[in-house]
Structure 1
């Protein structure tokens, strides 16, 4: 039944009942709504006429301008009943709430007056945050059921006003009509009584970073066997405003593209030139990048140090270069940066990375990074990129997670945080305890409030044990493990993939086993070799993924070198041979495949392109040992014991000459290191042979 809800706005916001009508009507007046509509008109009807963006924006203004002494939960009681996951909030509001309030519940319990003292990032003000909360309150009364992320109505209004300010008179009539519709629907033509502070270009850069997400998430079908040929599927159309999980990015509102070059030139002419020596780190990197070719600098700016790296195909269209030229430039950029950072010339940057890493601790926000050094917000002239963007890319000991730069596994760090807060310590004592984890004083309050179940009351830190937080899964020590030692930061690859100096002299290529002797490597009938990756939670968080030396050698990689590979969706993956060969991170690929811990992903490389197939984790308890063994090589079809032995023997051989003698096969698998396959086969082979 589609009955219209009789609820009026005063039922949703009781403060309107005792407010002065003139104060309310100044904000809630609408040309298509009757006077005093908030007392009588059903809320769904109001939303049909005026729209949720306009109403949410108006309610935020009322809360801030008229009732800033009331918490959001008192002004809009339904907010207390909403269970909101922060992943459902669009950037940059999401990052701002995490870094200030700590979470949704803390936001609802706060007053707008208190929010003004939070020190919100310049790219996202109190109005942006409160209007997002109001949107969540009114959204259940709309006819929208797409379940999309909660936008900020204040930002939508800003976007419409920006378009209106820059719309040329020569634009087609239907464009003007569309703008008029948006202006009326959002109320963007009305002047707000409350305005956030003006925003500078640096603010817009920070605002853009709020949309930083390691990778794009798009569905990709999986095949049961890695031997199956890859199937090219058309990718769905993707809006530039959509990020991972189809969450909204914060748009960088600005002039039309046709005018941006002209305005940029005018701004550059007005900007005083940097004085040599005033910003030594910027001078050093600028001197380094000026020696590069123009295409290399473009690749560095658009892919290596960009907040949201663009694909190789898009970049090739923009600069009118072949894909091979872009890939070659990418390899050159990676290797030149690697060698420079390892040289005496790059030592000041390497030392700065170490100093800043120590200063920021194991968990920090982007804003703390930007303000950690006077050179960080300064733009590198030859690159057109601020120094902090370069620094965040060069970090090897931390990953961006929910608005936080975290060293190691963020889930493990939050679990350890709660373990150290037992006994309700006061705020000072909590800081001393968390100092053992590397949490610095400047990040302490925000980190506590962003940890599930943790709150601060009357100067004491409380842990609500009813809020579950899964204990971290014990894993072997890796660079992604919170307690594992971190190598000195030396550099990184595109999109934040770390480059580290080799700490030991690797074995020579000639002494490495071949791919047929390498564990978890299997040859498909078409001759391609596939390598199995057993997905863990650390891998999904960006931890390195080691590969057997024999497989790396098969791909043409040499010790001390790196190999840039293009994965499905034009994502860049880097295989580096330091003390052992490893992918710096497979997170972009794993996210694209919708992988989960326990899944098996099989990868193969042809030239500089990487293909992958996911074999989802399934309950194999009702399968026989040979079936489980075949599953480990990516083969899922039923087979008898003898057929299974022949299939496995062929998959680990260089040619068609195979021996299916059970004892010989078990010995061969054991020599390769495939102990899991041996464990499945040995009982049944001894029983049947």
Structure 2
């Protein structure tokens, strides 16, 4: 659910949208960015990769070399919305601008060609001036959160007061409203007159930044002293209720400093994205006009029946572009962590049940239609424009419908501004493979339709693929642009046969409950006669349906059945359980995607108590294959949807069973399978007969059955 601003550089600089990539590409090329990135990768992501300095300097060269006739405010229209004090610009550009343009408005109204004629001083050329201006337009899209230490609360208050001191009366109304919100939230409007102690007179020194900072620090110290006195007196308070302020005059001695931005321990709290109630025009949600947006009306009817905390969790965590952590959310709305977790589980369960019900069928059908319409890769803009309801806010959430749709998609994810239903690297690699003979744009569209690229996304997808360009109506692939072949990893999903336990305590699904080490527990005859404890522990490399990815992680394949979808236990091979650190008689708790809790327990045989929460989250169906892997206490899962492979060869069907969906010749397929079932990081010998014998010993008879006819024919 993590998403970033969909604004790309071509949105910030419209001239790029209509420019020939072959002309601007050499200037904008960067080793860590794909070709055509200015049309596909969101600006915050670009700045994360290359930094604002590189981007501003590069755009300055682009403006001077290719758009020298355009005014800077036409090249970057957002410059008109900025108010910049030229005194804030660093030397030597500041002196150069003050001696030529004089004002910011005249500066952004000049073209690069005009700036080149100005009498600029030595050491400050047109590129430096243009780059400084462009930097002001680029800077707001940077994301510096977490890269520098958070300032102390006193500095936050002082910063707000400094802004208030310097803000001109002519500033726009929305700027004044924002400052009023910050002033109220930080308490900067109520701590101007505080005293050194309870017996002293209020001190009102001159209004300077230093004295304001001193008074703020005194206020914080006064509150700490007051809390210490109350604790020493034995006063007790309920943790969830904030301590009352001292009963003194608002400006008098002993005033306590309070701020809604300060959390426990005087740490900074993440502020709410909404303004405080006193700055909202109407604190109650406005009922939508029924009938105009049926999908929004349908979801609004669902969310309005939820409690306030459930709607808050949905808006801030489930459907948010930048989900807030449970701990911060609990701190903001002043409820227990457990209440947030319970609310999230309730929200997810209700939503899943509703989507599976007749009432939610229109949304479910809409998601299915969108998947078919958008294809395997599409931009956010295409998603928003795909339906008239998508840009409309769901009133009770304050979130546009398209954000809800992205969250409800289970078969695709956001990647660099693209909503993709497959591994994006694999899709781009396949794109290059299909277009190696320089086809026409029409032929390219027909070929890429095989991998799900729709016509509306075709041009943008081509330009976002490394080494691909469009010239004179043909699609060209530059083989000198390096691109590694994809290293396939298993795709989302899991399951196998159930387990029948013997007597003793069991879970709701019939699996035995772990006992503490040293506890006495009954042992069945089968368990008593089992030779496993005396034998060497089973190895994951010899376990059925277990495959090692190129990164070294072992994945286990689960063939989903109807019983698994209904909550039946799902067994795993003992070798895989041992690989995870599980021992007979023990239990392992794992956190799955979405914070679902999954329990893996081993008595007669290791098995998951149930994978139903995971399978429902993945929208798994009977016949799907789910691959699971575990890192620490976290489980990752990928689903490989059921597909008709009757038109595929035996080798492709065998590769599909290990989660590898790319085509490969027989010899290469044997090497891939041999590597996936080996602990050796080096390429093992893929002798056909030895491979068949090993697959049979592991229990992978389905893979062996697919390979055997091919190998018998090829090798006599």
Fold match by TM threshold 0.5: no
Larger radius of gyration: 2
TM range (shorter): 0.3 to 0.5
The structure with higher relative contact order (CA 8 Å, sep 6+) is 1
TM-score, length-normalised on structure 2?
0.43
TM-score, length-normalised on structure 1?
0.45
